[in-house]
Protein backbone atom coordinates (compact mmCIF):
# COMPACT_ATOMS: atom_id res chain seq x y z
CA UNK A 1 0.00 0.00 0.00
CA UNK A 2 0.91 3.62 -0.46
CA UNK A 3 3.30 3.09 -3.30
CA UNK A 4 5.15 5.94 -4.94
CA UNK A 5 5.08 6.14 -8.72
CA UNK A 6 8.28 5.64 -10.66
CA UNK A 7 8.28 9.31 -11.61
CA UNK A 8 8.79 10.23 -7.99
CA UNK A 9 11.39 7.56 -7.44
CA UNK A 10 13.39 8.35 -10.56
CA UNK A 11 13.06 12.03 -9.83
CA UNK A 12 14.66 11.71 -6.43
CA UNK A 13 17.39 9.51 -7.83
CA UNK A 14 18.06 11.99 -10.62
CA UNK A 15 18.23 14.86 -8.16
CA UNK A 16 20.62 12.88 -6.06
CA UNK A 17 22.82 12.31 -9.06
CA UNK A 18 22.80 15.98 -10.01
CA UNK A 19 23.57 16.93 -6.44
CA UNK A 20 26.37 14.44 -6.25
CA UNK A 21 28.10 15.51 -9.46
CA UNK A 22 30.77 18.10 -9.34
CA UNK A 23 28.89 21.07 -8.02
CA UNK A 24 29.67 23.28 -11.00
CA UNK A 25 29.66 20.76 -13.74
CA UNK A 26 26.31 20.33 -15.43
CA UNK A 27 25.21 16.74 -15.75
CA UNK A 28 23.65 15.69 -19.03
CA UNK A 29 20.45 13.73 -19.13
CA UNK A 30 22.36 10.96 -20.79
CA UNK A 31 24.79 10.68 -17.89
CA UNK A 32 22.02 10.62 -15.33
CA UNK A 33 20.14 8.06 -17.35
CA UNK A 34 23.13 5.76 -17.50
CA UNK A 35 24.04 6.05 -13.86
CA UNK A 36 20.54 5.56 -12.58
CA UNK A 37 19.45 3.14 -15.28
CA UNK A 38 16.44 5.04 -16.55
CA UNK A 39 15.55 5.87 -20.16
CA UNK A 40 16.63 9.24 -21.51
CA UNK A 41 13.20 10.03 -22.92
CA UNK A 42 11.48 9.40 -19.62
CA UNK A 43 14.00 11.45 -17.71
CA UNK A 44 13.39 14.37 -20.03
CA UNK A 45 9.80 14.55 -18.84
CA UNK A 46 10.79 14.34 -15.22
CA UNK A 47 13.56 16.89 -15.39
CA UNK A 48 11.31 19.20 -17.38
CA UNK A 49 8.88 19.32 -14.50
CA UNK A 50 11.63 19.87 -11.99
CA UNK A 51 13.04 22.67 -14.08
CA UNK A 52 9.71 24.46 -14.49
CA UNK A 53 9.29 24.18 -10.74
CA UNK A 54 12.61 25.89 -10.23
CA UNK A 55 14.41 23.05 -8.49
CA UNK A 56 17.03 22.64 -11.19
CA UNK A 57 18.24 24.81 -14.02
CA UNK A 58 19.44 23.67 -17.39
CA UNK A 59 22.13 24.78 -19.78
CA UNK A 60 21.70 24.05 -23.44
CA UNK A 61 24.20 23.29 -26.08
CA UNK A 62 27.48 21.45 -25.95
CA UNK A 63 28.83 21.18 -22.43
CA UNK A 64 25.33 21.79 -21.11
CA UNK A 65 23.21 19.79 -18.76
CA UNK A 66 21.45 20.17 -15.44
CA UNK A 67 22.46 21.89 -12.21
CA UNK A 68 20.73 22.22 -8.88
CA UNK A 69 19.08 25.60 -8.44
CA UNK A 70 19.90 25.64 -4.72
CA UNK A 71 22.21 23.91 -2.30
CA UNK A 72 21.44 20.24 -1.63
CA UNK A 73 20.62 20.91 1.98
CA UNK A 74 18.03 23.45 0.93
CA UNK A 75 16.08 20.92 -1.10
CA UNK A 76 13.90 18.60 0.93
CA UNK A 77 12.63 15.38 -0.62
CA UNK A 78 9.11 16.67 -0.11
CA UNK A 79 9.80 19.42 -2.65
CA UNK A 80 10.93 16.97 -5.31
CA UNK A 81 8.02 14.63 -4.77
CA UNK A 82 5.56 17.48 -4.53
CA UNK A 83 6.48 18.62 -8.02
CA UNK A 84 6.35 15.15 -9.57
CA UNK A 85 3.39 13.67 -7.76
CA UNK A 86 1.40 16.53 -6.34
CA UNK A 87 0.67 17.02 -2.67
CA UNK A 88 0.40 14.14 -0.26
CA UNK A 89 -3.24 13.10 -0.35
CA UNK A 90 -4.01 9.78 1.26
CA UNK A 91 -7.62 10.07 0.10
CA UNK A 92 -9.50 12.42 -2.20
CA UNK A 93 -11.16 13.49 1.01
CA UNK A 94 -8.03 15.32 2.16
CA UNK A 95 -6.74 16.33 -1.27
CA UNK A 96 -6.39 20.11 -1.38
CA UNK A 97 -7.29 19.96 -5.08
CA UNK A 98 -10.56 18.19 -4.46
CA UNK A 99 -12.40 18.36 -1.18
CA UNK A 100 -14.54 16.38 1.20
CA UNK A 101 -18.24 16.18 0.47
CA UNK A 102 -19.18 14.53 3.72
CA UNK A 103 -16.70 16.04 6.09
CA UNK A 104 -19.12 16.02 8.98
CA UNK A 105 -19.88 12.33 8.76
CA UNK A 106 -16.38 11.41 7.73
CA UNK A 107 -14.86 10.00 10.88
CA UNK A 108 -11.70 9.04 9.12
CA UNK A 109 -11.10 12.47 7.66
CA UNK A 110 -8.94 13.52 10.58
CA UNK A 111 -7.02 10.26 10.49
CA UNK A 112 -5.97 10.65 6.88
CA UNK A 113 -5.18 14.28 7.37
CA UNK A 114 -2.94 13.50 10.29
CA UNK A 115 -1.21 10.66 8.47
CA UNK A 116 -0.55 12.97 5.56
CA UNK A 117 0.91 15.53 7.89
CA UNK A 118 3.22 12.93 9.40
CA UNK A 119 4.48 11.89 6.00
CA UNK A 120 4.93 15.41 4.79
CA UNK A 121 6.72 16.29 8.00
CA UNK A 122 9.15 13.45 7.54
CA UNK A 123 9.81 14.22 3.89
CA UNK A 124 10.41 17.86 4.70
CA UNK A 125 13.01 16.89 7.23
CA UNK A 126 15.17 14.89 4.85
CA UNK A 127 17.04 16.89 2.23
CA UNK A 128 19.24 15.99 -0.69
CA UNK A 129 22.07 16.98 1.63
CA UNK A 130 21.06 14.26 4.05
CA UNK A 131 20.90 11.81 1.18
CA UNK A 132 24.39 12.73 0.04
CA UNK A 133 25.67 12.22 3.56
CA UNK A 134 23.84 8.91 3.87
CA UNK A 135 22.12 10.43 6.86
CA UNK A 136 18.59 9.12 6.76
CA UNK A 137 18.49 6.73 9.66
CA UNK A 138 18.28 6.93 13.40
CA UNK A 139 18.66 10.68 14.00
CA UNK A 140 15.31 11.19 12.35
CA UNK A 141 13.51 8.40 14.05
CA UNK A 142 10.65 9.57 16.15
CA UNK A 143 8.73 6.40 16.66
CA UNK A 144 9.91 6.00 20.22
CA UNK A 145 7.74 8.93 21.14
CA UNK A 146 4.65 7.19 19.85
CA UNK A 147 3.10 5.24 22.66
CA UNK A 148 -0.20 3.48 22.66
CA UNK A 149 -2.62 5.94 24.22
CA UNK A 150 -4.74 3.20 25.72
CA UNK A 151 -4.68 4.55 29.25
CA UNK A 152 -6.63 7.66 28.39
CA UNK A 153 -9.05 5.51 26.60
CA UNK A 154 -10.56 3.51 29.44
CA UNK A 155 -12.88 6.38 30.27
CA UNK A 156 -14.79 5.71 27.07
Partner DNA sequence: AAAATAGCCTACTGTTTATGTCAAGTATTC
Partner DNA sequence: GAATACTTGACATAAACAGTAGGCTATTTT
Residue numbers at the binding site for DNA (CB under 7 A): 5-7, 26-30, 38-39, 41-42, 44-45, 47-48, 51-52, 58-66
Contacts of residue 103, defined as CB under 8 A and 6 or more positions apart, other chains included, come to 93, 109
Cβ proximity of 105 and 69 under 8 Å = no
Give least dist CB 103 to DNA, A.
Answer: 18
Query: By CB under 8 A, is residue 152 in contact with a second copy?
Result: yes
Characterise 2 by phi-psi region: left (phi > 0), alpha (psi -120 to 50), beta (else).
Answer: left
Q: Which of the ranges 6-14, 23-31, 43-51, 58-66 carries the binding residues for a second copy, by CB under 8 A?
A: 6-14
| Nearer residue to DNA within complex by CB, 73 or 87 | 87
Count of residues interacting with a second copy (CB under 8 A): 64
3-class secondary-structure state, position 58: strand
Q: Which does 140 bind (CB under 5 to 8 A by kind): DNA, a second copy, none?
A: a second copy
Among 18, 26, 43, 112, binds a second copy (CB under 8 A): 112
Residue among 125, 110, 53, 113 at smallest CA distance from 88: 113
Q: Is 53 in the site for a second copy (CB under 8 A)?
A: no
Q: What angle do CA 124, 94, 152 make, to 5 degrees?
A: 80
Amino acid sequence: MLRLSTKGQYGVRAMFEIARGYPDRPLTIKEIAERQDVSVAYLEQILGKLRRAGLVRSIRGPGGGYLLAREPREIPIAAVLGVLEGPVAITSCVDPREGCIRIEHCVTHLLWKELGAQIEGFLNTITLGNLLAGDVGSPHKVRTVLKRASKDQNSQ
